[in-house]
Structure 1
Amino acid sequence: MALLGNQVMTHGLRHSRHGAVLLASILSAALVVGCSGDHEGRGAKDPKPSTTPSATSDQTEALEKKVEEALGIADVDDTNGQFVESGLERVSDGIHARSALTNGKSYTLAVVCAGVGKVRLAVTAKRPVRQTVECNSVPVRQRITNAPDQLVTDVEGLEGSTGVIGWRIDELRGVP
């Protein structure tokens, strides 16, 4: 019986040694493969430059500033009560604004896009108006007379367009 126990023990050690040798071989191969990177650049592809989040953020901030300046919303002076509302969005998000107005009054809507490409502007007051706007930082203005209770403004970027879009609504005083 002691012999049988010894054989079992020896057989178990043989498997353990074989497993250890196999594990060592696998780890050595992994170490060689993992550490054999091309340090001199031979055969390695040049990495493509990527846009960092901070670079993208800086570009977006610059475009936002252009839009704010074009619309005059950077420092709104509402001492005469004409300013109603404004906003900024990325072209990829679009504008989907539902603005509460006073029925029968007159307003101006200004929309500007800064960036690349074009956007499609759709304004629904009493009747829908649609037009394409260049992303050239030049405001497009629309006069709304005899306004409804709600002005619907939707702006969607056309394919390949990027940048920032903004809108501003002001009440026109003394105009029916």
Structure 2
Amino acid sequence: MTKQPRPLGRNLVLCASLLCAAVVTGCTSDPGGPSAPASSPGQQQKSPSNASGLTDEKLGKQVEKTLDTAEVSDSEPLFVEAGLERVGDGFHSVPDLTRGHSYKLSVVCAGKGKISLSIAVKKPVRQTIDCDGVTFRQRLTASAAPIKIDGDGMPGATGMVGWRVDKADK
């Protein structure tokens, strides 16, 4: 799942980014990728990327289910944005938050290893999160400066990481 911010300009930037990523992925696929011919029965797959691709899909669905983002839409009154990335790619978000309002950040990593999460707020938060499928939650209060949320896989970490930002209940 990709970010679903409200402003149209950010949606256009996101669409352009996804298109570029699709083109780059298509140009750099390994021979065992999705466009390769199916192997004959009894022949073992030589490319580990096929196995990890299926694992990423399964782990991504697990993360989406945990965060309840599989069917989320901008019409939900408390929803701000959500995203899903491979742990190795990391994620970087600057959500569009209203100054003085409170928000809830939820982050889930599923796979193996750990990610390093940093949240640039008035009192910066740095947290190491295990990729065990357990939700990390942090309350945020928007100030004049944009809040930056970054998650990066630590060495050897694999899997999927997702995040969701919602307005806090009053």
Question: TM-score normalised to the size of structure 2?
Answer: 0.68
- Give the number of equivalent residue pairs: 127
- Tell me whether 1:113 sits opposite 2:109 in the alignment: yes
Q: Is the aligned partner of 1:141 residue 2:137?
A: yes
Within 5 A, what are the aligned runs for 1:1-176? 50-76=46-72, 79-145=75-141, 147-149=142-144, 150-174=146-170
Cα RMSD after superposing both structures? 2.0
Change (3 A) 1:139 1:118: same
Which ranges in structure 2 are unaligned for 5 or more consecutive residues?
1-43
Q: CA deviation at 1:172?
A: 1.1
For 1:92, give the aligned amino acid: G
Inter-partner Cα distance in structure 2 for 1:94 and 1:144: 21
> 1-side partners of 2:76 and 2:45: how far apart?
50
How far residue 49 of structure 1 moved from its aligned partner, in angstroms, is 6.0
Q: Distance in 2 between matches of 1:80 and 1:162?
A: 31
Which whole-Å CA distance do the structure 2 matches of 1:172 and 1:53 have between them?
Answer: 39
- Alpha-carbon deviation of 1:79? 5.0
SS at match of 1:99: coil
SS in 2 for 1:55: helix
| % identity of equivalent residues | 45
Moved over 4 A (4+): 77-80
- The amino acid that maps onto 1:94 is G
> Equivalents in 1 of 2:156, 2:98: separation in Å?
37
The 1:106–1:134 alpha-carbon spacing in structure 2 relative to 1, beyond 3 Å, is same
CA distance in 1, matches of 2:55, 2:76: 34
* Structure with the higher fraction of residues in helix conformation: 1
State which structure, 1 or 2, has the greater radius of gyration over its C-alpha atoms.
1
Give the counterpart letter for 2:69 in structure 1: I
State the 1:80 CA deviation.
4.7
